[in-house]
Structures are given as C-alpha cells and as structure tokens.
Amino acid sequence: MTVRQHQERLGTAAAALPFGRAARELGLRPREFELAVQLGYVRTVASGPGGRQRVAREEIERHTGGAGFPEALRARVWVVGTAEGAELMGIGQARFVCLARAGCFPPVRFYVNRYRAVVWHYLAADLVEFADANPDLLTGRTPPELRAALEGNADRRPRAWRARRVDQLLAFTRDPWERAAVVASVLRPGQLADTVPDPFERAHVGTLRPQLALGRSDTVAGREIIDRMTVAAEPDEIEGYRKLLTTTLAEARALRAAPRPGSERPLPVAPSAPPERVRSQAPAVAGPGATEDRQPRPKGLRALWGLFRRRSSRQLPEESLLHH
C-alpha cells in the first residue's frame, strides 16, 4: 500500500459514521440496517481500535443520491412472515408454507416464540423474484417434484437458512482461517474433530468461530432450538460442509500454520480474492402450468417499491410481522 492510499484509507475511516447515525441518515430502523449490512447492501469500513465497523460518508451519499431513495433501499430489506408473504405473492398461506418448506426461497432470519415454535422471516424481494420466475408453482395442483421434496414431512428451511448465512459470512471474510471457522460453525464437535484432527488447528478455528444466529432466547429450551437450527442435519449437507472445510483448511495451512503454545500468533494475511462462496442448496422445482385464477401481481423491483409504499402507508408497525 502506498503512503497516499494509506492516508486515503485513514481519511475514510475518520469520516465514517457509527451504525446508529448511519441508520438514521439512511432512513432505516435498527433491524433493517442490521440486515442491510448483513446482506452487503450497506458496505462498512474498519475504524478505531479493534477494527470496529462503521459506514463511510461516501457510502451514505451513494444511497441517498440514488434513484428511489429511501423506498428503494428499505424495500430491499423488507422482511415478511407467512401471512404477508403469501399476500405479496398472491397465494394462500398453505401454498406459501408448502413452497417455503420445500426450500424454494431461503429464509433470511428466524426466532423462537414463547410457544417454542420457530418463526421464519423472508425477504420480500426474494418472494417477488421467485414468483416472477415460477408462476406455474403458484396455483393448481402441487407438482410431483414439489411433493417429492416434501416427502417424510421434511422442512428444508433450516438447511436453506444455514446455506444463506454461511454464504453471507464468507462474502465478508478473506482471511483463510476465518473462512474455515465460518464453515466449521455448522458442524457438531464430533464432526469437526473428524474433519480437523489437529487439536491446535481445531482450537484456532474454534476461537474464530462466528455467531450464525444473531438473536438469542431467554429460555434454555429456546437456546437449544436455536443451536439445533445452526448445525447441519442431513448426511449430504454434513458431507458437503466437511469437504468444503477440508479444502478451506488446505488453503489456510498453505498461507500460515495455526498458532501453537509458546509461539507468537502470526498476523492475519488476506489473499487477493476470496474462494468460491457457498451457495444455497434449495431444490430445483418446476411444475405444470397454472390452472386457477390468482390475484394479479406486479413484477420487478420497481413494483416492489410500490407495494412497499402501500404497505408503509398503512403504518404497520415493524414488530407486527413477528406474529405471523
């Protein structure tokens, strides 16, 4: 890095805004801003001791000067539950749940309610995109492919959420040991021990392990459910993450060894570009042509802005979505 580049970076960090102020300037509620950062819509920079993340003034201006601000940005982080998601797609709630359980659109987050039930949330933009691309799945009889995906009462939402969350974390991580820790975070201790037999490497990965589920429960039962949602469950899913972890570890070892007792911990070194990201493993489904009339639904992101404006004009409180 040249002296000029270093000075420019320092200047950007010094002018960066804390998350609270950045959220206000972008017209986002705290949870909307958190999701915007998590999804990469709002880029952050390291600033201050410990690499605390902030938002550069240039990033704020990029959004505020864009077309459709602030509705366009808020529409992209518009999160819905089952009832509002079904309404948005113009289908019944039973059909929506069927598509969601089949993994047709991955949830973006979840929480455990007081009845110990997992409540899933989805990005409205994902639902609009899926509905536009798969109109035949919105009406008529359930296609054989979709019925097969639901055999045995399987629910692919936890798996789809895990794949999406791992993908998000890998997108922000360049250090190879931190990337290995992201992949390791979905494996149980025994599976991790089999994949990473070296105890020092396993301990190093453990210290870098990120938190997959951002929300926590106040009850032991709720925490157990959340912990269960964050680990791979199906044999092929487990094997896929183990293979990815083996590959990622090989890249990490090639760059530097894991720290050992009595040795100084090496400084992190980031490769020029991150390896290929994990993709959601939702099943590919296709069905017969629609045979039933359904509610007309506009297409595209601009139409989503219109839907969001109408929704906002009803002044629905953000937390009302938690009861669907």
Assigned domain for 277 exists: no
Q: Is 77 exposed, middle or buried (0-12, 13-18, 19+ CB in 10 A)?
A: buried
Domain end point (choices 67, 87, 114): 67
Three-state secondary structure readout of 131-149: HHHCHHHCCCCCCHHHHHH
The label of the residue with tokens 């980031």 reads 270
Assigned domain for 72 exists: no
Q: What is the pLDDT of residue 316?
A: 43
Domain end point (choices 21, 44, 67): 67
168 shares its domain with 151: no
Output the tens digit of pLDDT for each of the chain's 324 residues. 443 343 344 445 557 999 999 999 999 999 999 999 999 999 999 877 666 889 999 999 999 998 889 888 999 999 999 999 999 999 999 999 999 999 999 999 999 999 999 999 999 999 999 999 999 899 888 778 777 777 766 899 999 999 999 999 999 888 999 999 999 999 999 999 999 999 999 999 999 999 898 777 778 888 999 999 999 999 999 999 999 999 999 999 999 999 988 665 544 444 434 444 444 343 333 333 333 334 445 455 556 666 666 666 554 444 333 333
193 shares its domain with 146: no
165 shares its domain with 249: yes
Assigned domain for 146 exists: yes
203 shares its domain with 247: yes
134 shares its domain with 194: no
Show the domain range for 235.
Answer: 159-255
134 shares its domain with 90: yes
Assigned domain for 297 exists: yes
Assigned domain for 261 exists: no
Cα–Cα distance for residue pair 35/50, rounded to 1 Å:
22
Cα–Cα distance for residue pair 281/279, rounded to 1 Å:
6
Q: What is the pLDDT of residue 143?
A: 77
Give all strands (DSSP E) within 17-150, no chain letters: 45-46, 53-54, 79-80, 109-112, 118-123
49 shares its domain with 103: no
Q: Which long-range contacts (CB under 8 A, 24 or more apart) does 32-35 make?
A: 32/74, 32/77, 32/318, 34/214, 35/77, 35/79, 35/108, 35/109
Q: Dihedrals φ, ψ of 16, to 5°? A: -70, 155
Give all strands (DSSP E) within 31-105, no chain letters: 45-46, 53-54, 79-80
Q: How many Cα neighbours within 13 Å face the side chain of 185?
A: 24
Assigned domain for 150 exists: yes
239 shares its domain with 307: no
143 shares its domain with 229: no
39 shares its domain with 25: yes
Torsion, CA 280, CA 53, CA 26, CA 20, rounded to 10:
120
Assigned domain for 185 exists: yes
Assigned domain for 86 exists: yes
In the chain, the number of structural domains is: 3
234 shares its domain with 301: no
191 shares its domain with 250: yes
